[in-house]
């Protein structure tokens, strides 16, 4: 292998290591907020070992390595926050969904079931006292909330939505 190839591979490895380091470091903050002290502590230990090993690599390799490590830091942070948002179940968003169109509500119920969003469908009534369906959907992650948002936005009819946080 040429010196250039080895240098590029070295930069790629340093980039991946720093992404992982920042993923751990940002995860530590999230874990502390979620009161998971043991996992946060373990995350700090591993992150610090990586950090001090990388200091040597950056200080001896020049400006390009410094820029690569800096960019990797941002990527690692974005990755950690994205993963936390996707899988966080600390708060449940209760969505009460109402519509005059019973067929629309049945399709909404099927959509929630297909996407494994816990829900409860009950008999409801319109302003004119016609029978309809009321749905209470329990979005446990931001992804589930986003799925409900997108589904409701795609409808041609109005669905009244009341959201509360538990």
CB burial of residue 111 (10 Å; 0-12, 13-18, 19+): middle
Q: Could you give the 3-state DSSP secondary structure of residue 68?
A: helix
Binned at pLDDT 50, 70 and 90, residue 108 comes out as very high
Above 80 in pLDDT, residue 91? no
DSSP conformational letter for 92: P
Q: Where are the domains of the chain?
A: 3-87, 93-165
What is the CATH number assigned to the segment(s) 93-165?
Answer: 3.30.70.260
| Average of per-residue pLDDT across 135-164 | 90
Predicted TM-score (pTM) of the model is 0.53
pLDDT tens by residue, 9-67: 988 988 998 899 888 888 888 788 778 889 888 988 898 888 888 887 778 877 888 88
Are 22 and 77 contacting, i.e. CB atoms less than 8 angstroms apart? yes
Q: Can you give the pLDDT at residue 97?
A: 93
């Amino acid at each position: 292998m040429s010196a250039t190839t080895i240098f590029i591979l070295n930069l790629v490895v340093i980039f991946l290591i720093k992404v992982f380091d920042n993923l751990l470091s940002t995860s530590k903050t999230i874990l502390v907020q979620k009161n998971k002290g043991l996992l946060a502590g373990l995350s700090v230990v591993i992150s610090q070992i990586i950090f001090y090993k990388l200091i040597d690599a950056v200080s001896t390799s020049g400006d390009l390595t410094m820029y690569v490590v800096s960019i990797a830091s941002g990527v690692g942070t974005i990755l950690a926050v994205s993963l936390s948002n996707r899988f966080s179940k600390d708060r449940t968003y209760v969505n009460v969904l109402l519509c005059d169109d019973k067929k629309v509500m049945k399709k909404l119920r099927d959509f929630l079931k297909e996407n494994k969003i816990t829900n409860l469908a009950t008999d409801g009534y319109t302003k004119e006292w016609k029978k309809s369906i009321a749905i209470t959907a329990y979005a446990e992650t931001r992804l589930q909330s986003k799925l409900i948002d997108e589904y409701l936005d795609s409808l041609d009819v109005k669905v009244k939505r009341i959201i509360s946080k538990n």
